[in-house]
Amino acid sequence: MAMRIATFLVILLSVFEHSAAGELFNVRQHLSTVSRYGAVKEFADSAFVPSKVPDGCSPIHLNLVARHGTRSPTKKRMRELDNLATHLESLLRDVKEQNLSLKKVPAWLWGWKSPWKGKVTGGELTDVGEIELYHLGIRIRERFPDLFNEEYHPDVFTIKATQVPRASASAVAFGMGLFSGRGSLGPGHQRAFAVTSESRASDILLRFFDCCQNYKDFRKSQEPAVDELKEPIFDEITATLRKRYGLNFTRQDASSLWFLCKQEASLLDITDQACGLFSPSEVALLEWTDDLELFILKGYGKSLNYRMGVPLLKDVFESMAQAIKAKEENYAPGSYEKARLRFAHAETVVPFSCLLGLFLEQSEFKQILREEPLQYPPKPPQKRNWRGSTVAPFAGNNMLVLYSCPANSSSKYFVQVLHNEHPIPMPGCDNSDLCPFEVFKERIVTPHMKHEYSAVCNVKLEKPELKPAMSKLSQLFHWLFSQRNDDTRSLKVDL
């Protein structure tokens, strides 16, 4: 009897231990931009208390900028996993031939093949991705019944996607949720709705990164530097993996295994294979390398990254201005837009969040306005605001809700920003999530408006006017100085 109780206690204890660890560390919440929406959506800043929308206010317009849902790996990445399989096989063969211990080798590695082996197409929206967007559509309709109870017309509910299939499929999945039960098609009473796209080559609203030569050049030039920043982390982790599992892994293997972990966890719900190779603190470091890359190549790391998104910010702002005009001038119902819904990419959502100044401290917002560079996100275990899993998970989104508040003495219109459906502070608006329209305009939108897309993107080199005062020598100094600045910036990184 005593024995039985003891066994029972041991089991009970191990269950407790397990669930406690599970609560503390869930690898699904540490996959940077490969995180599934459902795994991270509830991760709002718990210290932040959202504003109460004043009584008598009603939403009159909604802007949505969303990333496509969970997608399968691209062709290039699938090839990387096939190469990993080949290399793992040869590592296991070496160990056998040298009669080394196989005790430490995780069982799943034997005969492992990429789950995507033989698949010839990639990058498409998965079933999980469809569900993410479908339910987002349903939730938005439930949350804003005043906006979405109106009869569908393509000019009232504008739906735009990029010309990339996973983005347009996301728009369709969202619309099926948003308008479900409203039509006459099939048992689900679906209805048809329009999703329009610009040509990839000229879509400066949603694929501004693809039309921006300066950005493409910048990315290409920065990629080696980003790899260099990540290298020490990968070297350290590679060495640990070798010892831990008795296999002669290369740095490339470590990198591919981290990629595999993210894909397994997000797409296949497997967290005890590739993810199981890494300890929580290693995952935290790997996540940080991804977040750092996101920051440098798509986020606050370089003003070009978000300045090229100014046409989108302008489009959002103008849609609000039109909605206000429609309200002020009492347009007939059905004759004006109530929502502009956009489906695009991480490269769209991240710069757009930066233009709004999200995830910054107030002091950093001021630095951005003064065009001063920001520090890189600090290395764990230090805390950081900039997390890819929050900034742009699959289906990650920003909603800007325009409220009409006829009874308010200070402002008749307010803008509320929801990030992944949660109110989020705007450092540009005294850290409130609810901003008087005029303040939103003056402090957040207007400072960016001086930047023309064509100037930001197409002008290949800054050509200082050759005034007599600006000699060749002083130009050289200017060049040297700006180079040096770049260097000091990268030295700031605490690796």
Ligand X SMILES: *[C@@H]1O[C@H](CO)[C@@H](O)[C@H](O)[C@H]1NC(C)=O
Residue type, 442: E
**Binding track over 64-103 against ligand X, x by CB under 6 A:** ----------------------------------xx----
Nearer to ligand X, 120 or 407 (CB): 407
CB of 107 to ligand X, least distance (A): 22
**Closer residue to ligand X in complex, CB, 103/450:** 103
Minimal distance, residue 433 CB to ligand X, in Å: 10
Q: Segment near ligand X (CB under 6 A), from 196-204, 224-232, 256-264, 404-412?
A: 404-412
Between 410 and 485, name the residue whose CB sits nearer to ligand X: 410
**Minimum CB distance to ligand X, residue 260 (Å):** 19
Considering only the stretches 119-127, 336-344, 358-366, 405-413, report the one whose residues sit in contact with ligand X under the rule CB under 6 A. 405-413
Burial (CB < 10 A; 0-12, 13-18, 19+), residue 473, is exposed
Amino acid of residue 25: F
Residues in region 235-264 near ligand X by CB under 6 A? 248, 250
Nearest distance from residue 98's CB to ligand X, in Å?
5
Q: How far is the CB of 362 from ligand X (least distance, A)?
A: 18
In the set 19, 202, 279, 410, which binds ligand X (CB under 6 A)? 410
Q: Which is nearer to ligand X, 29 or 432 (CB)?
A: 432
- Of 43 and 245, which CB lies nearer to ligand X in the complex structure? 245
**CB-nearer residue toward ligand X: 250 or 475:** 250
Taking the complex as a whole, how short is the minimal distance between the CB of residue 428 and ligand X, in angstroms?
16
Nearest distance in Å: CB 439, ligand X = 10
Please, which residue, 393 or 436, has the CB nearer to ligand X?
436
Using the minimum distance from each CB to ligand X, give the nearer residue, 196 or 410.
Answer: 410
Task: Please give the Cα distance from 321 to 28 (Å, whole number).
Answer: 40
Minimal distance in Å, beta carbon 266 to ligand X? 29
Q: Which of 252, 322, 408, 431 binds ligand X (CB under 6 A)?
A: 408
Q: Name the pairing type of β-strands 157-161 and 339-344.
A: parallel
Contact flag: residue 407 with ligand X (CB under 6 A): yes
| Unique residue bearing structure tokens 């497997």 | 270
User: With left for phi above 0 and alpha for psi between -120 and 50, is residue 364 left, alpha or beta?
Assistant: alpha
Least distance (Å) between residue 444 CB and ligand X: 16
Closest to ligand X by CB, 430 vs 486, is 430
Cβ proximity to ligand X, 182 vs 441, nearer residue: 441
Q: Sign of the C-alpha dihedral, residues 26, 32, 38, 40?
A: positive
Interacting span for ligand X (CB under 6 A) from 137-145, 174-182, 355-363, 407-415:
407-415
The site string for ligand X over 353-392 (x = CB under 6 A, - otherwise) reads ----------------------------------------
Please report how close the Cβ of residue 180 comes to ligand X at its closest, in angstroms. Answer: 34
Contact by Cβ (8 Å): 245, 282: no
- Rule CB under 6 A: choose which of 159, 237, 434, 444 binds ligand X: 434
Question: Which residues, 24 to 53, sit near ligand X by CB under 6 A?
Answer: 51
Residue from 26, 45, 50, 54 binding ligand X (CB under 6 A): 54
Closest approach, Cβ 431 to ligand X, in A, equals 14
**To the nearest whole angstrom, how small is the minimum distance from the Cβ of residue 410 to ligand X?**
5
What is the SS3 assignment for the chain?
CHHHHHHHHHHHHHHHHHHHHHHHCCHHHCCHHHCCHHHHCCCCCCCCCCCCCCCCCEEEEEEEEEECCCECCCHHHHHHHHHHHHHHHHHHHHHHHCCCCCCCCCHHHCCCCCCCCCCCCCCCECHHHHHHHHHHHHHHHHHCHHHHCCCCCCCCEEEEECCCHHHHHHHHHHHHHHCCCCCCECCCCECCCCCECCCHHHCCCCCHHHCCHHHHHHHHHHHHHHHHHHHHHHHHHHHHHHHHHCCCCCHHHHHHHHHHHHHHHHHHCCCCCCHHHCCHHHHHHHHHHHHHHHHHHCCCCCHHHHHCCHHHHHHHHHHHHHHHHHHHCCCCCCCCCCEEEEEECHHHHHHHHHHHCCCCCHHHHHHHHCCCCCCCCCCCCCCCCCCHHHHCCCCCEEEEEEEECCCCCCCCEEEEEEECCEECCEHHHCCECEEEHHHHHHHHHHHHHCCCHHHHHCCCCCCCCCCCCCCHHHHHHHHHHHHHHHHHHHHCCCC
Could you tell me how many residues of this chain bind ligand X (CB under 6 A)? 11
**Nearer to ligand X by C-beta: 46 or 99?**
99
* Interface contacts to ligand X, rule CB under 6 A: 51, 54, 98-99, 248, 250, 407-410, 434
